[in-house]
A = this chain, B = another copy of it.
Amino acid sequence: MRRTLKQLADELNVSPMTVSRALRGVGGVSAATAARIREHAARMNYRPNLAARSLAAKRVGVLGIIVPNLRHSFWLEMVMGAERVARQGGFQVFLSHSADEAELEREEIWALVGRRVDAVLLASCDPDRNADVIEEVREEGVPVILFDRHGETVRSPGVYADDIGGARRATEHLLSLGYRAVAHLAGDMRFSPARARVQGYVEAMREHGAEPLIREAGFGEENGYKGMTSLLDDGSVEAVFVSHDPSAIGALRATLDRGLRVPEDIAIVGFGNTECSAHVAVPLTTVCQPKLELGQVLGDLALRTLAGAAHRSETIILPTGFVVRRSCGAHLRRTET
């Protein structure tokens, strides 16, 4: 079967330890021997048994990442960003997802810890409910770094997008275009980003002396459709800031299905800049998070934490961007921005 360190050592008439040192490049071996060993290992196509290595050493060189869901590009991009940084730092990434179920998430966390990952990067689908596990894992010496979603009770180093600022920006954009009746279709309020976006929206409205009008729709296209329908039933809205692009796409469809025009009759601004946002019938104006960068910062934070170089409870918030397309009606120049 596989070749082991010891076999290599026998073939080369050195001790296993020397081979180990040479292959890891930790010094304590003459350059000549090291070269000889490395060459032989390469020819023999030797690969260390990482399970054994991680058992013997403490560090394993693996970060575990758990996201609620891989189907949304947001998570995916964050993971890719984190992975890139981790790889450059000599770490591998073990990726899991919780399918948005707190119970499964607990299991996944334990599975990662059982595999002795060096750190857990977690976008929890329910940070408060799983606060105990997180605490426990921390006590065992495995850093847990939260991202995107935080809870009320859990405070921890983490990386987040500036949801409040992004929501303010979106709302102010609509107000500056001259819309007054600007409503908000909120996301699932169990999640901190949804709450933060509501907050940003409300702040912006208040500052402009406008009355907030909020409807909780939840995430996803269908919820957006329903939420928008109910909003249109109820009263006269000029513009809507939707908490999440998929919902915004649903809202757009609902509006169009009513025979209303976007943005002439109703303006829409989304949040997230998902893959389809630029392609839909009326291209969506939207807030965009720096997804890849968020991931990179996350990976970086993890590496620094492991190196002991991060502040305790370092919290990083990255600013959001804003993409103006057609759904907000800016191109109609109702008012100069």
Which A positions have Cβ atoms within 8 angstroms of B? Answer: 1-2, 45, 47-52, 54-55, 60, 70-71, 73, 76, 79-80, 92, 94-95, 110-111, 113-116, 136, 140-141, 249, 275-276, 279-281
**Complex alpha-carbon distance, A274 and B54, angstroms:** 40
Closest CB pairs A-B (n = 4): A276-B276, A50-B114, A47-B114, A51-B54
Contact of A1 among B47, B52, B92, B140 (CB under 8 A): B140
**Chain B CB within 10 Å — which of A71, A115, A116 has the most?**
A115
**Complex alpha-carbon distance, A55 and B275, angstroms:** 43
- On whether A49 and B114 interact (CB within 8 A), knowing A1-B141, A80-B70, the answer reads yes
Closest chain B residue to A71 by CB distance? B76
**Complex alpha-carbon distance, A111 and B113, angstroms:** 19
**Complex alpha-carbon distance, A140 and B281, angstroms:** 53
Residues of B within 8 Å of A71, CB to CB, are 73, 76, 80
**Complex alpha-carbon distance, A110 and B41, angstroms:** 14
**Complex alpha-carbon distance, A71 and B72, angstroms:** 10
**Complex alpha-carbon distance, A216 and B47, angstroms:** 40
Residues of B within 8 Å of A276, CB to CB, are 275-276, 279
Q: How many copies does the complex hold?
A: 2
CB distance from A212 to the nearest CB of B (A): 29
Residues of B within 8 Å of A136, CB to CB, are 45
20 more contacts with CB within 8 A, not counting A49-B116, A279-B280, are A1-B140, A1-B141, A2-B140, A45-B136, A47-B114, A48-B114, A49-B114, A50-B111, A50-B114, A51-B51, A51-B115, A51-B116, A70-B70, A71-B73, A249-B279, A275-B275, A276-B276, A276-B279, A279-B279, A281-B281
Residues of B within 8 Å of A55, CB to CB, are 49, 51-52, 55
**Complex alpha-carbon distance, A152 and B76, angstroms:** 32
**Complex alpha-carbon distance, A73 and B72, angstroms:** 9
Closest chain B residue to A73 by CB distance? B71
**Chain B CB within 10 Å — which of A45, A73, A94, A279 has the most?**
A279
Closest chain B residue to A84 by CB distance? B99
Closest chain B residue to A221 by CB distance? B279
**Complex alpha-carbon distance, A47 and B107, angstroms:** 11
- On whether A116 and B45 interact (CB within 8 A), knowing A94-B94, A276-B279, the answer reads no
| 28 CB < 8 A contacts A-B | A1-B140, A1-B141, A2-B140, A45-B136, A47-B110, A48-B114, A49-B114, A50-B111, A50-B114, A50-B116, A51-B51, A51-B60, A51-B115, A51-B116, A52-B55, A55-B55, A70-B70, A71-B73, A71-B76, A92-B111, A94-B94, A249-B279, A275-B275, A276-B276, A276-B279, A279-B279, A279-B281, A281-B281
- On whether A115 and B280 interact (CB within 8 A), knowing A70-B80, A71-B76, A136-B45, the answer reads no
**Complex alpha-carbon distance, A73 and B275, angstroms:** 11
Closest chain B residue to A252 by CB distance? B279
